[in-house]
């Protein structure tokens, strides 16, 4: 067998997505990979049905169908607080995943340093490897997930080209405050670096926290590449619709990368999703109300059981501390991954081991999500209660 590239030997498959496969194999309740188990809005489904017969079914413009980009420019222009040119400042991608990969490929030369907060969404590790960038990790310290801004300055001083900011943060649910974003932004300007944001959970930010777009801060548009997606906002994770927004020069580069990576996102799905992008404000308010309720329900359930957890300020993820289990003789020597596998097989609930998000040696946290119908959450909680009973 001829040899494969060195590149593919430097990272594993995604543990998040692997957990879904194991969960499916054992028929567990899948609270690992984050995606909803409920339908997208009916208006989007109706538009999809109509598109099935009326098209388009051929390629859209490589960097996104015109009506899709125009609708995006209107919606995200409001969030960013400026007019976005749909011709020159947007690239539509196959999911937020391709948006981030294209951003990294657009700005990084092999050997360039990029700062990544740890814990981080595991894709960023592979994005760095595939784009040749060398990550510098900035700890977000549990349980509050605060960070030391001096480390960000040191990173820029060490030559970092960019910093990736996932806001709200997957997996820890941190919502960066305006002050934190301003401080990061000021350093990016001072050292002439980029901020690459991942804002896919922008509409899941729980009061009193507020979502602030990095690109909306004074002077930051020119330094920010905003990566985003429709997956979570419209419950269409399988449609793989994402996008990049940024200054013209950056987007010009990203358009080329995207063109040769994937040519384009699915044309019929872009057409159907335009309806969603044009939804009134009330849609986003209702979505937030729905997730606020789910969050409260899930966190209350965890409290009743007595499982230790963080309180996410945003996203639909919760980190649970499993140290009390790892201290039991039957789990002696277990890694968090082994514990998650045990959970799937014996408890019937799938989680993601925290070690797949942390650079640091963290083995006592697992991530669960609550983007599930209430009855599914209730069933998961009753199974977790049984797990807790092991401690008695
Ligand atoms: N963002 C989701 C998660 O962290 C999954 C995204 C994906 O698998 N592409 O679980």
Ligand 1 atom nearest 232 alpha carbon: 1
pLDDT classification of 175: cutoffs 50, 70, 90: very high
299 by Cβ neighbours in 10 Å (0-12 / 13-18 / 19+) ranks as middle
Quote the percentage of the chain above a pLDDT of 70.
Answer: 100
Q: Are 316 and 287 in contact (CB under 8 A)?
A: no
- List pLDDT tens digits, range 35-67: 999 999 999 999 999 999 999 999 999 999 999
Highest mean predicted confidence (pLDDT) among 9-23, 78-92, 123-137: 78-92
pLDDT for 146 equals: 96
CA of 72 to the centre of ligand 1 (A): 22
Rounded (10°) CA dihedral 189, 180, 354, 298: -140
Alpha-helical segments (H) within 158-223: 178-190
Given this model, what pLDDT does residue 142 score?
Answer: 86
Taking the C-alpha atoms of residue 87 and residue 181, their distance in angstroms, rounded to an integer, is 28
Mean pLDDT within 323-351: 97
pLDDT band, very low/low/confident/very high, at 100 (cuts 50, 70, 90): very high
Q: Is there an atom of ligand 1 within 6 Å of 123 CB?
A: no
Q: What six digits make up the tokens of 371?
A: 């983007």
**Ligand 1 pocket, residue 16 CB under 6 Å:** yes
* Mean confidence (pLDDT) of the chain: 97
Distance from C-alpha of 348 to C-alpha of 117, rounded to nearest angstrom: 31
**pLDDT recorded at residue 391:** 86
Asked if the model's pLDDT at residue 12 lies above 90, the reply is no
d(CA 386, ligand 1 centre) in Å = 27
Per-residue confidence at 143, pLDDT binned at 50, 70, 90?
Answer: confident
Say how many Å lie between the CA of residue 32 and the centre of ligand 1. Answer: 9
For residue 34, the CA-to-ligand 1 centroid distance in Å is: 5
Cβ of 364 closer than 6 Å to ligand 1, yes or no, is no
Phi–psi pair at 164, nearest 5 degrees:
-95, 125
What CA–CA distance (Å, rounded) separates 158 from 142? 25
Residue 371: CB within 6 Å of ligand 1? no
Percentage above 90 pLDDT, the chain: 95
CA of 390 to the centre of ligand 1 (A): 30
User: Does pLDDT of 392 surpass 90?
Assistant: no
Cβ–ligand 1 distance for 30 under 6 Å, the answer no
Question: Does 190 sit behind a cis peptide bond, omega within 30 degrees of 0 on the bond before it?
Answer: no
Instruction: Assess whether pLDDT exceeds 90 at residue 138.
Output: yes
The predicted structure's pLDDT at residue 356: 95
In the predicted structure, residue 235 carries a pLDDT above the cut 90: yes
SS3 call for 156: helix
Query: How far, in Å, from the CA of 329 to the mean position of ligand 1?
Result: 33
What sign does the dihedral 17-22-25-31 (CA atoms) show?
negative
Can you give the length of the chain in residues?
392
With bands split at pLDDT 50, 70 and 90, how would you rate the model's confidence at 90? very high
β-strands 317-321, 241-245: how paired? unpaired
| C-beta 229 within 6 A of ligand 1 | no
Task: Identify each DSSP E strand in 173-293 by its residue range.
Answer: 194-198, 224-229, 241-245
Q: What pLDDT score does 149 carry? A: 98
Q: How far is the CA of 366 from the centre of ligand 1 (A)?
A: 15
| C-beta 17 within 6 A of ligand 1 | yes
Least confidently predicted of 6-20, 75-89, 319-333: 6-20
Q: Is the pLDDT of residue 158 over 90?
A: yes
Span 285-311, mean pLDDT? 98
Q: Which residue's C-alpha comes closest to atom 1 of ligand 1?
A: 34
What mean pLDDT is predicted for residues 330-335? 96
């Amino acid at each position: 067998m001829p040899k494969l590239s060195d590149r593919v030997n430097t990272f594993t498959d995604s543990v998040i997505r692997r957990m879904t496969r194991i969960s499916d194999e054992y028929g567990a309740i899948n609270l690992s990979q984050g995606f909803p188990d409920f339908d997208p809005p009916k208006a989007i489904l109706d538009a999809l049905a109509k598109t099935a017969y009326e098209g388009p079914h051929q390629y859209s413009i490589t960097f996104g169908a015109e009506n899709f980009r125009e609708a995006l420019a209107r919606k995200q222009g409001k969030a960013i607080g400026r007019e976005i040119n749909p011709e020159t400042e947007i690239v539509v991608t196959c999911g937020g995943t391709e948006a981030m990969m294209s951003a990294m490929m657009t700005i990084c030369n092999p050997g360039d340093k990029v700062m990544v907060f740890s814990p981080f969404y595991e894709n960023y590790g592979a994005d760095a490897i595939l784009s040749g960038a060398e990550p510098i990790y900035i700890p977000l310290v549990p349980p509050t997930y605060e960070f030391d801004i001096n480390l960000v300055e040191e990173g820029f001083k060490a030559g970092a080209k960019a910093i990736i900011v996932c806001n709200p943060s997957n997996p820890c649910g941190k919502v960066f405050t305006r002050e934190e974003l301003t401080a990061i932004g000021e350093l990016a300007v001072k050292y002439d670096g980029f901020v690459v944001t991942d804002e896919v959970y922008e509409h899941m930010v729980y009061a009193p926290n507020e979502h602030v777009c990095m690109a909306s801060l004074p002077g930051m548009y020119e330094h920010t590449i905003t990566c985003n997606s429709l997956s979570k906002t419209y419950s269409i994770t399988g449609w793989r619709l994402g996008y990049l927004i940024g200054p013209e020069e950056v987007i010009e580069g990203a358009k080329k990368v995207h063109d040769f990576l994937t040519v384009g996102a699915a044309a019929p799905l872009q057409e159907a999703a335009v309806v969603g992008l044009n939804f009134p404000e009330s849609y986003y308010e209702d979505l937030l109300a729905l997730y606020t309720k789910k969050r409260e329900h899930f966190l209350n359930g965890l409290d009743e059981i007595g499982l230790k957890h963080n309180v996410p300020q945003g996203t639909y993820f919760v980190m649970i501390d499993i140290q009390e289990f790892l201290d039991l003789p039957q789990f002696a020597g277990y890694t968090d991954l082994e514990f998650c596998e045990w959970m799937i097989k014996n408890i019937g609930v799938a989680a993601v081991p925290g070690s797949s998000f942390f650079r640091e040696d963290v083995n006592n946290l697992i991530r669960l999500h609550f983007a599930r119908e209430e009855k599914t959450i209730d069933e998961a909680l009753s199974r977790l209660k049984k797990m807790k009973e092991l401690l008695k």
